[in-house]
Copies of this chain bind each other. A is one copy, B any other.
Amino acid sequence: MTHPAHFIELFFGIICLVGIWYSISNFNSVKRTLIGRPMRTAELHAQHNKLIWYIALPILSADLYSSVAYGPEAGMTELVKFGNDAKWYIIPITISTVILLAILILSYIMGVLAYPNGGGAYAIAKDNYKQRWVSLIASSALLVDYILTVAVSVSSALANVVSAYPIIAPYEVVLAVLCVFLLLMVNLRGVAESAKIFAWPTFGFMACMLIIVYTGFFDETRHGFVQQSTPTIGNAPQGMTILLILKAFSSACSALTGIETISNSVPIFREPRQKNAIKTYIALGTITAITLLGYAYHLYVKGISPNPNNTMLSQLSESYFGHGLLYQIIIWFTFVVLILAANSTFTGFSQLAAIVAADGFLPRGLTNRGDRLGYSNGIIALAAIASLLIIAFRAQTNALIPLYAIGVFLSFTVAQFGLIKLWIREKGSGWKIKLAINIVGAIVTTVVAVIFAVTKFTSGAWVVLIIIPLLIFFSLAIHHHYQNIANELKIDLKSFKPKGNRVITIVLVSGVHRVVHNTLSFALGLCNENILAVYVGFDDDSMKKMEAKWEEWGNPCRLVTLKSKYRSVLEPFSRLIKMIDEKEEFKSQIQIVIPQFIPKKWWHNLLHNQTALLLRLWLYRHKDVVITTVPYHLKK
């Protein structure tokens, strides 16, 4: 396995990747001459610098088009379980997939016409159904599938690289998790905003796939459309049932994920934006259909079998181009495009989660933007779960496929039914045709979703079919909780006005030094008469010493010394708070002032603040007191 040639190839391949990367990062300058300076999404929405359709095409297509790298392979993997004789089924299955693609694109064009400002399945369902759980089906199913998209895309990306450079095979899982981690970092830093520089590799990958398809036909005109390796056609192998053919079809349909991206992004198109979006849909659909049909046909002609150590895309390229430069370029473009698909999913997932959270159906924290504008919590959650999936499934794409695509088709179905309701309600020009299209779409996607659920149920789909309803249930529970809180917090502005509470300020002192000086200077500045300094000593000696020092310091405020038998600060402190609570005839609020060291080096935190931290955590859990931390910046 570790022949020196492998190292040379790996080296060569890395140069290839660096080349692609260099091109991406310099695409800015290329693009600037083409379409002007880079823009932020916000600017895109605000101004009129919108995208012409053939520039939008590669930007919005990474997600859908990259799926051709694993879709046909997933279908073939199911088929070859019944031997070589079953391979020819890939042809009718791919034809069915392409028909399904056409129906979906047609349905989504209806979506574009209905929602010129862009509308995902969640928005469409929300707009057309009063029942909240309908839109929650769409959001939950999509969120689950987005997670799977990252896991599947990254696994498939790695599988292709490993096919070309088998010496890195032992590190496949580690490298896949590393890729997710890099995507996490990139997204936390908000690079997703400049997603446009990623158009170029998608074009490159499209070119690669079309070259493969063309080369295939060229090869076949020379060596015959039926070659030695071509399996016989028309045989029905033993044990092959309709259900199992449908299972292969379900797996192959993973090639259709990502179709919704364009309809979500109508506003970024140049006017007339709907027309441009539709153009893009038709162009993308045509290219994808050609690629799928051609690729699947050549796979059949060459009689290629799935191999866990060598993807079918890699095998087919090898058979045409050997292990040369063109092969390596194809592999690296495939890798980059699949990683870009995962990357765009990060944006999609965190934005959808933020929208649902803003409606009060997911934790509000998902609407928080980090330092650099990304929805950090959503991004982190996605990366964490996707990594766990990759580890659990050992980065095996075909092991993940059974869980995949059900969510997407569920959300397709919800969106179609939403559009049907819309056409019936609003009517408008040509509504009957639109309605008819969406009715066909709704029936087809429903049937496909049911086929998915049934055929893949035992191989893993049951997990998804449990998780989605659970997510819906939790979303409703969260909404209920937020509404309860909102009701609890409501007040009457006229009668319920804030008055100053009586506050007792307790300053924690550990001796007489600069930090205590800093803390006390703050506390005394609050002009509160009820200030108490508290010192916890472990023996009588230290307590007497402290009292003397305090005296010498001029008694800045009243000092209370407490003795701790067990060298614990918590216990005497807790006693004191209890005592004040019980003693006070009229209720007053206790404020505890704790100094906090801010060290020069972050790892110095390990050496400080332990008591303050412990005390704060403990007080938070056990007492109803206000906690104030006063920073002290260490100079060393």
Chain A interfacial positions (CB closer than 8 Å to B): 363-365, 367-371, 373, 377, 478, 481-482, 484-485, 488-491, 493-494, 496-503, 512-517, 520-522, 524-528, 549, 552-554, 556, 566-568, 570, 589, 591, 596, 598, 604, 606-608, 610-611, 614, 618, 620, 624-631, 633-636
CA distance A489 to B367 in the complex (A): 42
**Residues B500 and A521 in contact, CB atoms below 8 Å apart:** yes
Is B522 a contact partner of A493 (Cβ separation < 8 A)? no
Q: Which of these, B491, B552, B566, B589, contacts A493 with CB under 8 Å? A: B552
Copies of this chain per assembly: 2
Query: Do the beta carbons of A482 and B607 come within 8 Å of each other?
Result: yes
Which B residue sits closest to A610, measured CB to CB?
B365
Q: In the complex, what's the smallest C-beta–C-beta distance from A179 to chain B, in angstroms?
A: 24
Q: Which single member of B498, B516, B628 contacts A626 (CB below 8 Å)?
A: B628
Q: Are B488 and A634 in contact (CB under 8 A)?
A: yes
- Known contacts A567-B369, A626-B628: does B364 contact A608 (CB below 8 Å)? yes
A92, chain B: closest CB distance, angstroms: 44
Residues of chain B with a CB closer than 8 A to A626's CB = 522, 628-631
- Give the CA-CA distance A514 to B499 in the complex, in Å: 13
Are B636 and A484 neighbours in the complex by a CB distance under 8 Å?
Answer: yes
State whether A611 and B368 are in contact (beta carbons under 8 Å apart), knowing that A499-B521, A633-B624 are contacts in the complex: yes
Partner of A606, one of B363, B501, B553, B598: B363
| Cα-based distance from A556 to B478 in the complex (angstroms) | 33
**A371:B570 contact, CB within 8 angstroms:** yes
* B residues in contact with A554, CB < 8 Å: 497
B367–A485 CB distance below 8 A: no
Known pairs A498-B556, A514-B489; A568 contacts B369 (CB<8 A): yes
- Once A363-B607, A610-B377 are accepted as A-B contacts, the answer to whether A501 and B515 lie under 8 Å apart by CB is no
The residues of B that contact A620 with a CB separation of less than 8 Å are 596, 598, 631
Q: Complex formed: what's the CA distance from A493 to B513 in Å?
A: 8
Q: Considering the complex, give the chain B residue whose CB is closest to the CB of A607.
A: B363
Would A364 and B526 count as touching, CB distance under 8 A?
no
Complex: chain B residue closest to A568, CB-CB = B369
Known: A512-B493, A515-B489. A498 touches B520 (CB 8 A): yes
**Besides A369-B566, A493-B553, 10 other CB < 8 A contacts?**
A478-B607, A481-B636, A491-B512, A496-B517, A501-B524, A502-B525, A526-B527, A527-B527, A527-B528, A628-B629
> Are B363 and A610 neighbours in the complex by a CB distance under 8 Å?
yes
Check B607–A481 contact: CB distance below 8 A: yes
A513 partner residues in chain B, CB cutoff 8 A = 489-491
* Given known contacts A484-B636, A513-B490, A631-B626, A497 and B556 CB-to-CB distance under 8 angstroms: yes
A522-B589, A634-B488 given; A497·B553 CB < 8 A: yes
Closest 5 CB pairs of A and B: A365-B610, A500-B524, A501-B525, A498-B520, A500-B525
- Chain B CB count within 10 A is highest, among A482, A498, A604, for A498
Specify which chain B residues have a CB less than 8 angstroms from the CB of A614 in the assembled complex. Answer: 368
Q: Which of A490, A526, A628 has the most CB of B within 10 A?
A: A526
Contacts of A567 in B (CB 8 A): 367, 369
A273, chain B: closest CB distance, angstroms = 24
A488-B636, A489-B515, A633-B624 known; A501-B482 Cβ under 8 A: no
CA–CA, A625 and B628, complex, Å: 11
22 contacts between A and B (CB under 8 A): A364-B610, A365-B607, A367-B567, A368-B614, A369-B567, A481-B607, A488-B514, A488-B636, A489-B513, A490-B513, A490-B514, A491-B513, A493-B512, A494-B552, A500-B526, A522-B589, A522-B591, A525-B589, A526-B528, A625-B631, A626-B629, A626-B630
